[in-house]
Amino acid sequence: MRTSLQFAGVLAGLCLASTLHAQAGQPLFDKTHKGAKEPKVSKDWEDKLPIWANSLTSKNQFIQTWLMLDENFRPSDKPGKFEIRDANKEQFSAYAMVRDGVDANGLPVYKATSATKWISWKSWPARFVLTNYPVETNNDQNDLVAFGAWLFGQKENDLANRVLTLVHGKNKELAPLIEAYIAEKYGWKDAGALESFNLWDAEFQRERTILITAADKAARVSAREKAAKAGFDEIVRVRGAYKGKAPRKPSPTKQLILIEWEIKQFKIAYASSDFLKNTKNADVLQAILDSIVDDKAVIKSNREDAAKLPKNDKDAKGMKAKAERMEQVLVIDPMDVALRSETANAWYLYGAPLDHGNGCERTEGINAAIPHYKKILEVYPNNSAFLLALGRCYQALEDSKQARPYYQKVIDLEGDKGLGSTAQALMRNMDARDITRLKEEGKK
């Protein structure tokens, strides 16, 4: 009998533990969602996501976000940028976006294409939903609690923590319930009062405040020190050589203004780290910033000098000297697309394609321009002017097979107007020349 009672007690304890686990955060949802269980709170929020998206797209307020797809809608391990333009309960209409240059900080700029596909809501990663869904400006605290529950369900614990931490700071009544819920989701036993911790989100380059335990804080501080060292090493690596007189090698592998921006972000992210408080490390970052300022001055001076080299548009010697000078300047900041385009154009002008497109005065210039235009198109894949220029280079070398795809893309983008009309005319000349060449070869 005693054994049965002991077994019953153990069973009751297991059932109670199971019930408490199944009702994680229930006291919080009792307050915010009239006693609804966590799965329902999460599901109800998920069901509202299409409604929220549609409220924007119906007013032509399109949502720019990221999906784990490439621009051809194939699965990718790197996020691709897309624009949501329409939405229903099951799916949203995503338009692929492509690189279209850089902004004032050297960060990529994107523009939408006509390529579109309907995508399931479950294909929108939770971390990217967070970048678009209103959080800081959201006055509906119950909605944020539900959003946090959904993020926990998506295994995005720190992001859920971030959302709930905002509510925690605004609502004293909910604060202890939020702490208890967060502790349960992380599995913290006897957590006690949680404390704030500023977490740097490297993917989105922003700081997020979360609630953690003292023990967890120690682990995160250690991880932050390692991340600071890794981030510092990466900045030094991409900067290349920064001592001595420019141009130096190795050259930077990121645009100088982007490195400047990343150093500023690095200082924000790791301001409280022991790594950055080390004056030796801080001095290296300052030396890099100073070198970038100096390099910009050298680039500006050489650009001005290069512009004076050709005496006129017939001065082939001067045009070649300008192109060679620009090549030297480009070594200082090879990822600057504007600087590369000036170099490409200098070689193009020296090469002097004939007006009708078939042939040129100097193949040396055309051959030198081609690799530059190809690199530029990696950043501006849909820029008609650069596409046309590369097509003209290949036509000037009488390589119609290489020229045709670039002309065709210009026509696809522009139709029969503007540069599209120019591309059509050049293709006609190219085709006519190919026919003539075939006839001449046949006679031989």
CATH number of the domain that 367 lies in? 1.25.40.10
Residue 244 lies in a domain: yes
Which of 100-109, 276-285, 320-329 has the least mean pLDDT? Answer: 100-109
Average pLDDT of the residues in 135-153: 97
Q: Which of 273, 300, 327 is the last residue of a domain?
A: 300
> In this predicted structure, what is the pLDDT of residue 185?
96
**Side chain identity at residue 81, one-letter code:** K
Q: Which of 274, 300, 326 is the last residue of a domain?
A: 300
Distance CA(212)–CA(230), nearest Å, equals 24
Q: How far is CA 169 from the centre of its chain?
A: 31
Q: Count of CB atoms within 10 A of residue 102's CB? A: 19
Q: Count of CB atoms within 10 A of residue 26's CB? A: 20
Distance CA(407)–CA(283), nearest Å, equals 50
Residue 405 lies in a domain: yes
Domain that holds residue 341: 335-443
Residue 169 lies in a domain: no
Which of 1-15, 260-274, 305-319 has the least mean pLDDT? Answer: 1-15
Locate all alpha helices (DSSP H) within 240-315, ordered by sequence.
256-269, 274-277, 279-307
Distance set, CA 103 to CA 257, 284, 329, 337 (Å) = 10, 26, 21, 11
pLDDT exceeds 50 at position 138: yes
Q: pLDDT above 90 covers what percent of the chain?
A: 87
- In this structure, the answer to whether residues 293 and 358 fall within a common structural domain is no
> In this predicted structure, what is the pLDDT of residue 15?
39
pLDDT exceeds 80 at position 443: no
**Side chain identity at residue 348, one-letter code:** Y
- In this structure, the answer to whether residues 439 and 363 fall within a common structural domain is yes
Residue 325 lies in a domain: no
Distance CA(214)–CA(220), nearest Å, equals 10
- In this structure, the answer to whether residues 339 and 409 fall within a common structural domain is yes
**pLDDT confidence band for 21 (50 / 70 / 90):** very low
> In this predicted structure, what is the pLDDT of residue 192?
84
Burial 351-362 (b: 16+ CB within 10 A, else e): bbbeeebbebeb
What DSSP string runs through 308-365? TS-SSTT-HHHHHHHHHHHHHHHTTSTT-HHHHHHHHHHHHHHH-B-TTSS-BS-HHH
- In this structure, the answer to whether residues 339 and 295 fall within a common structural domain is no
pLDDT exceeds 80 at position 247: yes
- In this structure, the answer to whether residues 289 and 347 fall within a common structural domain is no
pLDDT exceeds 70 at position 11: no
**pLDDT confidence band for 24 (50 / 70 / 90):** low
Residue 321 lies in a domain: no
- In this structure, the answer to whether residues 244 and 291 fall within a common structural domain is yes
Q: How many CA atoms lie within 13 A of 321 on its CB side?
A: 14
Residue 279 lies in a domain: yes
**pLDDT confidence band for 351 (50 / 70 / 90):** very high
> In this predicted structure, what is the pLDDT of residue 440?
81
pLDDT exceeds 90 at position 389: yes
Average pLDDT, the chain: 92
- In this structure, the answer to whether residues 350 and 424 fall within a common structural domain is yes
* Nearest residue to 223 (alpha-carbon basis) of 270, 291, 287: 270
- In this structure, the answer to whether residues 296 and 343 fall within a common structural domain is no
Which residues, in sequence order, are CB contacts of 413 under 8 Å at separation 6+? 382, 384, 387, 420
Q: What backbone torsions phi and psi does residue 35 show, to the nearest 5 degrees?
A: 85, 5
Domain count, the chain: 2
Beta strands 91-102 and 75-87, pairing class: antiparallel
Which of 23-32, 340-349, 408-417 has the least mean pLDDT? Answer: 23-32
Q: Token pair of 117, please?
A: 């596909």
Residue 376 lies in a domain: yes
Residue 247: asked if its preceding bond is cis (omega within 30°), the reply is: yes
pLDDT exceeds 80 at position 367: yes
Average pLDDT of the residues in 100-104: 91
- In this structure, the answer to whether residues 225 and 271 fall within a common structural domain is yes
Residue 329 lies in a domain: no
Q: Count of CB atoms within 10 A of residue 224's CB? A: 20
Contact 193, 174 (CB under 8 A): no
Distance CA(125)–CA(330), nearest Å, equals 39
pTM: 0.84
> In this predicted structure, what is the pLDDT of residue 204?
77
Q: Which residue has the tokens 């996020």?
A: 79
Average pLDDT of the residues in 112-133: 96
- In this structure, the answer to whether residues 437 and 345 fall within a common structural domain is yes
Q: Each residue of 161-220: pLDDT tens digit? A: 999 999 999 999 999 999 999 999 999 988 788 999 988 887 777 888 999 999 999 999
396: helix, strand or coil:
helix
138: helix, strand or coil:
coil
Average pLDDT of the residues in 106-118: 94
Cβ-defined contacts of 216-222 (< 8 Å, 24+): 216/186, 216/188
